[in-house]
Amino acid sequence: MSAAPEGWAELVGGLEQHVSPEWSRHAHEHGGQGWIRLILLVDAHHQLSTPRVAEKVAMTMADLAADREGERAGWEAVRVKAEAERMELVARVVDSSETLLPDELLPLFVRSIEPTPPGM
């Protein structure tokens, strides 16, 4: 098995608290394989493309505090911060794909993360 490319361990370390232990195990054990990196990057992108628990809690609490403007604004600030942090991770996954995937697999990553137009 070949070694994972430079930057893989750093990316994995930055994502570990946001993905499952199973994801992390595969990343550590099989990161030297291009196809495994492709699958893991697509999976991480998918997981991080929807609001996480912190955002959902903040949205719900803001809705429940509709009559208490200060509290609602505080929860909205929490949601915005959590969303920004999540989107930074998504951008990091996408940006890293160019150096972490072999040239022949990069188009598959791009195609996998792009939304499918309606009717296709």
The percentage of the chain sitting over the pLDDT mark of 90, rounded to a whole number, equals 90
Q: What mean pLDDT value characterizes the chain?
A: 93
Same domain, 23 and 37: yes
* Residue with more model confidence, 66 or 101: 101
Q: What does DSSP assign to residue 75?
A: H
Domain carrying residue 86? 51-91
Q: Which of 77, 9, 16 is nearest to 47 (CA)?
A: 16
Residue 119 pLDDT greater than 70, yes or no: no
- Does this model's pTM top 0.75? yes
Angle formed at CA 97 by CA 93 and CA 101, multiple of 5 degrees: 145
Same domain, 11 and 44: yes
Q: Is residue 37 part of a domain?
A: yes
d(CA 78, CA 47): 20
Residue 117 has a pLDDT of: 66
Same domain, 32 and 14: yes
